[in-house]
A and B are shown apart, each in its own frame.
Chain A
Amino acid sequence: MTSVLRTTPRPADAAPSSTPEGRRPRRERQGPAYIFLSPWILGAVLLTLAPMAVSLYLSFTDYNLFDPPHWVGLRNYTEMFTEDPRYWRSVRTTLLYVVVAVPLKLGFALAVALLLKGMRKGKGFYRSAFYAPSLLGASMSVALVWRALYNDGGTVDEILSGIGIHTGGWVSDPSLAVFVVALLSVWQFGAPMVIFLAGLQQIPGDLYEAASIDGAGRTRQFISVTLPMLSPVLFFNLVLETIQSFQVFTPAFAISGGKGGPADSTNFYTLYLYERAFSASHMGYASAMAWILLLAIGAVTLVIFRTSRSWVFYANEGA
């Protein structure tokens, strides 16, 4: 941070020489900078770093919000891994969700981006229309509408019954409920779509020209030109969506009425964490869960980064 400040252009040279008692000029110029930065520094320390440190401390304690926390060492962690079947259920549910929702969402986003790219008229309209659900997506109300759609006797149930498939509501079926949440996520494909669209427009047109001269059809062009050229954007979206999916909370909370039911089938990791913290008052256990989640997301992201070397292609690499 200081190095940035040092390179800022000096104001009028008169300022340092006018200081009495030989105060060091550099510090004098840094002062205002720190004052202006202070809201952000304070915010980072008070709202991010300090709570993180406290959370790390709490993860080694038993703390119920009412009484002072008391130190239990690694017990929260060992309990989580060896004694709590619900913990592992929540891990399985979350992994299933990530594996289903992320590829579906990215596939959808890419498909729509390809459609929009070739469009001449009304592009702006469709782009906004498809992006809107992403903006609304995090809201409780949409999740509630979703719940109503997939509920017993809801719209989806009725339509499927109309063509002879009786599901009896996905929300109250423990083997289907998780897919309701996944579908809600797929419906919010707008954000990665916009990024894909930007990436598609960066691909030089002469590559396609050259490919078609060589006799490549549309599929061939997609595989040999579009995908490699788009791979950095795909990589970016993949990392972002994976991280987000691990933290899915609002839709699961709304669709299961905050309980992760039926039969724990939508008890995602963060939902279980929330329940441990605020319903069961086990702040220490919840903090330990949060740290494991952080480590897990870090590890998965690292793996994606590692594998990216073999499939992400940067245009200037070959040059």
Chain B
Amino acid sequence: MRTSKYGRRRRTVVRLAACSAALTLLLTGCSGGSSSSAGGRVTLSFTWWGNDDRALRTNKAVALFEKKHPGVKVRTSTAGYEAYVQKLATQAAGGDLPDVAQLDYRQISQYAGSGTLLDLGPYMKDGTLRTAEFDKSLLRTGVYDSTQVALPMGQGTTGFTYDSKIFAKAGVPKPKPGWTWDDWADAGRKITALGLKGPDGRAFTGLTDIGVNEDIFEDWLRGHGKQLYSGERQLGFTAKDLTAFWTFCDRLRREKVVSQAKDTAQLGGAIDESPMGRRLAATDFTWDSPYLGYPPLLGDQIRFAPVPTTAGRAGQYFKPTMLVGVGAHSAHPKQAAELVDFLLNDPEAGKILGVNRSAPPNQAIAKSISKDLKGPDKEVYDYERRVAAYGVDAPPKAPPRGDVALQVAFTRCYQQVIYERQSPARAAAEFLSEARRELR
């Protein structure tokens, strides 16, 4: 690498400034040790985001890896998604990405484009990383600029978790693949008409307002034959499309069929903060791995249904629930690759990890653990096969840089609608102008 002396100095100064700025804001970035090898022992760092169950299972798998690879020690750390993403970005900026890091689909372009992720190609060639059992279209989601920079850790898709008891009570038939958005809205109307009450005496609504979630908008959009992005610098939809989606949601909110503004505004990562988790709504849009958190919280009557279609056309798709990559500056890339291979391909590790990151990408492992699955775990596995049988399109290319900010902007712009500060059309116009600036 040939960096001019001036350029290097400037970067250092810039980093220094960024560090001190971060310090002033009491952010805990900038440090975060990478690997070290004291006394002949190799220490790897491995980070991920997720719930306690994931932490428990992952640590167990890592312990097994350490047993099988004496001389390698793995220092693990975990956090909630938002804190994790911010910390990782600061680490990446300092050239200090952990040896092995769990990544989101939306981060791939940003990290790979700046050279913070290791090219995994050589390790796949020499057999350290085995991908023969992977689905090819899923494997491609970890490719940036024809370089494999990450591997999928799980395969997931979206759906609606719903309370089957309440559905039955309202006389709504069990949702089947191919049900439409009108069916969905009707279900909401029937359930709301029951006049149920939430725990603190507040009205129980049929549905959770989906207008705040860009993921569900993407499904809706694909059902209409469009997509979120049509290129690195361009959206694949117009203000008219977004206005139509938000008008649909807003109308249901005014009818009090979907959750009300202040409950919708609380939607975040945590299940128990969602209207459904707080027993204020009968359905919630979610990914299939977080769905597993609902039955323990709300009871066995909770089921999982496919995303409604637009006149039979499904918009949902299989996406890597998360990917795993190796830091470009890792001091022990070989051992890091071994750890990744172990997590993805070792049958014992596969059994320990289960479906916490959704169905394993290694299809042999997926098949073998599917036999032992029970309850919601089994339901997710069957659900994916049912959705695949109905037919879904291939996943889109990894989203462009700036997408992370737009996902947040989407929620914020819709909040202006539910608090009745802006019309759906005006909020959509604001989102599009923000998108233009982010993708520039």
Contact = CB atoms under 8 A, between A and B. Distances in A.
Interface of A: 46-47, 50-51, 54-55, 58, 63-69, 79, 83-86, 152-153, 168-169, 172-174, 249, 257-259, 261-264, 274, 277-281, 283
Tell me which of A65, A258, A259 has the highest count of chain B C-beta atoms within 10 A of its own C-beta. A65
A264 B415 contact: yes
Contacts of A83: 433, 437
Interface stretch (B9-17, B59-67, B178-186): B9-17
A153 B90 contact: no
A85 B427 CA distance: 11
B405 A174 contact: no
B408 A278 contact: no
B113 interface: yes
A46 B23 CA distance: 13
A54 B421 contact: no
Interface residues of B, number: 45
Contacts of B268: 257
Contact of A58 (B14, B401, B408, B434): B14
Nearest to A62: B440
A50 B13 contact: yes
B92 A66 contact: yes
Given A66-B111, A262-B415, 20 more contacts: A54-B13, A55-B21, A58-B17, A63-B14, A65-B89, A65-B90, A66-B92, A68-B7, A84-B437, A169-B262, A249-B25, A257-B268, A258-B82, A259-B408, A261-B265, A264-B415, A278-B25, A278-B90, A279-B405, A280-B404
B433 A262 contact: no
Contacts of A84: 437
B16 A278 contact: no
Contact of B89 (A86, A264, A281): A281
Contact of B437 (A79, A262, A281): A79
B114 A278 contact: no
Interface string B105-116: 000001101101
Interface in B412-440: 412, 415-416, 418-419, 421, 430, 433-434, 437-438
Contacts of B10: 68-69
A68 B261 CA distance: 42
Contacts, number: 101
B266 interface: yes
B145 interface: no
Mostly helix, strand, loop or mixed at chain B's interface? helix
8 contacts: A51-B16, A65-B18, A65-B92, A66-B116, A169-B262, A258-B82, A264-B416, A278-B89
A77 B425 CA distance: 27
Contacts of B25: 249, 274, 278
Contacts of B200: 153
A67 B114 contact: yes
B27 A278 contact: yes
Given A153-B200, A261-B415, A262-B419, A277 B405 contact: no
B172 to A, nearest CB: 29
B114 A264 contact: no
In order of increasing CB-CB distance, the 4 nearest A-B pairs are: A66-B114, A172-B262, A65-B93, A54-B17
Contact of A69 (B14, B27, B82, B92): B14
B86 interface: yes
A263 B415 contact: yes
Task: Give the one of B11, B89, B268 with max A CB within 10 A.
Answer: B89
B20 interface: yes
A263 B412 contact: yes
A258 B16 CA distance: 24
A54 B265 contact: no
